[in-house]
């Protein structure tokens, strides 16, 4: 009943003409969840919130600890793997960020990341892809975009990776709790991209205004 009342997500993340449910409508539908399921959903969404991708170094240990706590509290294998996948993505991006800042590899006894990628990263800190491209083919591209400060393209890459991953793992789930979690996680990605797209549009508008004003001022000076 909950899922049947939600508009399907667009086939493509970039298809913003077909937006999914509004936040208000989504929240209303989620009230149909049992309290235990709703609390678990809130925990998962909280730990995977996209703002945490931009967290400062001092928060890395705290986020890793919270992720471990949430994962240990979940019995569902798919949902556990969903969190682990995103945490490993975040760990890779944290390592890329730290290396760009000129930092050395974290000590082995320091908690800063999560998952099986951590020992690979520590062992191969100076290698561009941390010797992980066999599993994550996007690492070299993400590193290049980060190094060249192409923040918008990097954001698009990371959002689309998560979008496609959730689409794949959700193909066998339609009207169960897993489907609800995946729907909400994908909804958050759409919301993130809409906000980012608005910022891009505003920046482009400001550039056009400034460029036009510059031409106006030059013409005025000449006159």
The pLDDT tens digits for 155-180 are 899 999 999 999 999 888 888 999 99
pLDDT category at 80 given cuts 50, 70, 90 is very high
CA distance 90 to 136: 12
Q: What is the pLDDT of residue 152?
A: 86
Instruction: State CA 120 to chain mean position distance.
Output: 22
Mean pLDDT of 42-59: 74
| Tens digits of residue pLDDT in 115-153 | 999 999 999 999 999 999 999 999 999 999 999 999 889
Q: Which of 87, 83, 96, 89 is nearest to 126 (CA)?
A: 96
pLDDT at 172: 81
Q: What is the pLDDT of residues 2-27, one digit of tens each?
A: 887 787 787 777 776 666 778 898 88
Domain ranges (residues) in the chain: 3-8+34-196
- The answer to whether residue 190 scores a pLDDT higher than 80 is yes
Three-point CA angle 118, 169, 164, nearest 5°: 80
> For position 8, what pLDDT does the model report?
78
**In the predicted structure, residue 217 carries a pLDDT above the cut 50:** no
* Residue 39 predicted with pLDDT over 90: yes
Cα–Cα distance for residue pair 123/130, rounded to 1 Å? 8
Nearest to 170 by CA among 33, 28, 6, 52: 6
Confidence grade of residue 204 (pLDDT, cut at 50, 70, 90): low
Other CB atoms within a 10 A radius of the CB of residue 196 amount to: 16
Query: Does the pLDDT at position 189 exceed 60?
Result: yes
- Does 85 score more than 90 pLDDT? yes
Does pTM surpass 0.85? no
**pLDDT at res. 74:** 93
DSSP state of 7: P
What pLDDT, on the 0 to 100 scale, is given for residue 36? Answer: 93
């Amino acid at each position: 009943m909950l899922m049947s009342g939600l508009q399907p997500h667009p086939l493509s993340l970039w298809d913003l003409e077909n937006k999914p449910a509004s936040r208000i409508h989504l929240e209303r539908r989620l009230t149909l969840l049992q309290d235990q399921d709703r609390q678990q959903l809130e925990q998962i969404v909280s730990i995977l919130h996209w703002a945490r991708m931009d967290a400062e170094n001092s928060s890395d240990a705290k986020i890793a600890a919270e992720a471990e706590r949430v994962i240990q509290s979940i019995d569902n294998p798919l949902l556990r793997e969903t969190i682990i996948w995103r945490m490993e993505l975040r760990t890779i991006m944290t390592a890329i960020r730290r290396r760009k800042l000129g930092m050395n590899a974290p000590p082995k006894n320091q908690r800063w990341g999560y998952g099986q990628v951590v020992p690979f990263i520590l062992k191969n800190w100076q290698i561009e892809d941390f010797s992980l491209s066999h599993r994550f083919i996007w690492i070299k591209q993400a590193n290049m975009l980060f190094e060249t400060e192409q923040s918008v393209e990097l954001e698009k890459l990371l959002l689309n990776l998560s979008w496609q991953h959730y689409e794949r793992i959700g193909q066998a789930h339609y009207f169960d709790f897993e489907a609800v979690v995946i729907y909400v996680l994908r909804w958050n990605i759409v919301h993130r991209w809409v906000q980012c797209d608005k910022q891009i549009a505003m920046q482009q508008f400001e550039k056009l205004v400034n460029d036009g004003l510059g031409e106006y001022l030059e013409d005025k000076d000449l006159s």
